[in-house]
Amino acid sequence: MNRTAAILGAGALALSAVSGCSGDGAEAGSKVCVNEYVTLPILEDAVDGIRSALEEEGYADGDEVEYDIRNPEGDASTQQTIASQFIGDSDCAVLVGLTTPGSQVFLQPNREAPLVFFASSAPLEAKLVDNLEKPGGDVTGVSDPLPVELELEAMIAIDPDVKTVGLVWKNGDASGDALAARAKAAADDLGIEVVEAPISNASDTTQSALSLVDRVDAIQVAGDGPTVSGVGGILKVAQEHDLPVFGGTTESVDQGALLAGAYDYGVLGEEAGRIIAQILDGEEAGEIPVYVPDETRMRINEDVLADLGLEVPDDLDVDLGPAG
C-alpha cells in the first residue's frame, strides 16, 4: 500500500436496502434512496458520512426511515432504470445522487421527491441548480470544486521540466467539461501546453493515456466521476512510461498518482446527511443553500514522488503531514 502525504491547501445493479433512521419529520415507510453511480472508496466514505450524520440528527438505523442504495456502476441504461424506480417509488422521501451524472439522471419532470446531489464539482454548469444560495427546484446538495489550478501549480513547482500536460476528462460530463476548461485556462496562464485526450466513458482511459505517450511531460486527470473511476488505466500506462499523473481526487493518489487536490469525502457526506435531515424534518430542499467547502486537502503520494526522483521544493508553500 502506498504511503501518502497530505498538503493542506485552499453494468450490474447492486441493491442494498437496510432499515434506517427516524426523526420527528419522517413518516413511516419513507426511504432515503441513493444512486451511488459507481464503486469508489470516496463515495463509500460519503455514504458512511451520510449515515453517521443522520444518526446524530436523530435518524438512527432501525426505525422509520430505511436506506435504498443502488449502484449502476456507471452504466447509463441501468442508471435510468434505477432513477425510474426511485422516482416512481412513493416511499422515497429523499433522492440522493452521488456525482454529477448520478444526480442529473433524477432531473425529470415527474420527480416529486426532493433531490440532494453530492460531489458535483460544477452544479451550476450541470444545471442541477440555478443558484447556490437559493437553489430552488426542490434540489440542493454538496459541491466539491476541485482545485485544478493549484494541482497544476504544485506539479510544476515539484517538476519545473513539465512544459506539456496531457489532459484527460469525460467529454460531455458537465463537471468534467467545467474542470477541463479551468485546467486549460490555468495552463495557458502559466505558459504550459495542453494536449487534450478526452474520453467517452471510463473504459477509454487506457487508450486516452496511450495517445499521450511521448507527447507530454505529465498527465492531469480533471476529476470527473467517470474519469476517476477509470483512472487505473491511465496510471498503468503512466507508470510504464515514467509519466507523473496528477489530479483526480484522493482516489487517484491512493492508486498511484503523484498528487491531487481533494476533500475528506466522509466529512462532506456528513454535510449531505445534515441536509437530508433538514429535508426529513420538513424544510424545502430548494431553500437550503448548497454546501461548498472552504478548504481543499491536497495529497502527495510519497512513494511515487521517490520513484520519479522528485522532491517537494523548500519554497513551495505547503504543509506536509499524514494522509489522514
The DSSP H or E segment spanning 268 is helix 265-280
Burial zone of 282 (CB within 10 Å; 0-12 exposed, 13-18 middle, 19+ buried) = exposed
8-12, 89-93, 317-321: least confident range: 8-12
Ordered by start, the domain boundaries in the chain are 11-144+264-293, 148-262+297-322
10-24, 87-101, 105-119: least confident range: 10-24
The domains spanning 11-144+264-293 and 148-262+297-322 adopt the same CATH topology: yes
Looking up cell 492508486, which residue turns up? 255
Instruction: Supply the DSSP symbol for 289.
Output: P
Across the range 95-104, mean pLDDT stands at 96
**Distance in angstroms (rounded) separating the CA atoms of residues 25 and 1:** 44
Q: Residues of 262-280 as b/e, b for ≥16 C-beta within 10 angstroms?
A: bbbbbebbbbbbbbbbbbb
How would you list the strands of the sheet with 92-98, edge to edge?
Answer: 14-19, 65-71, 30-35, 92-98, 115-120, 139-143
Q: Does residue 15 carry a pLDDT above 50?
A: no
Instruction: Give the three cell numbers for residue 106.
Output: 433524477
Q: Which of 81, 116, 100 is nearest to 174 (CA)?
A: 100
Counting Cα atoms < 13 Å in the Cβ hemisphere of 4 gives 23
pLDDT tens track for 253-310: 989 999 998 788 999 999 999 999 999 999 999 999 999 998 777 788 989 999 999 9
The DSSP H or E segment spanning 227 is helix 225-229
Residue 7 pLDDT = 43
Q: Which of 93, 116, 190 is nearest to 148 (CA)?
A: 190
Residue 247 pLDDT = 94
Question: Which CATH fold would you assign to the domain 148-262+297-322?
Answer: Rossmann fold (3.40.50)
Residue 261 pLDDT = 84
Which CATH number does 11-144+264-293 carry?
3.40.50.2300
Residue 21 pLDDT = 37
**Distance in angstroms (rounded) separating the CA atoms of residues 37 and 13:** 10
**Distance in angstroms (rounded) separating the CA atoms of residues 183 and 189:** 10
**Distance in angstroms (rounded) separating the CA atoms of residues 227 and 100:** 12
Name the band, by pLDDT with cuts 50, 70 and 90, for residue 159. Answer: very high
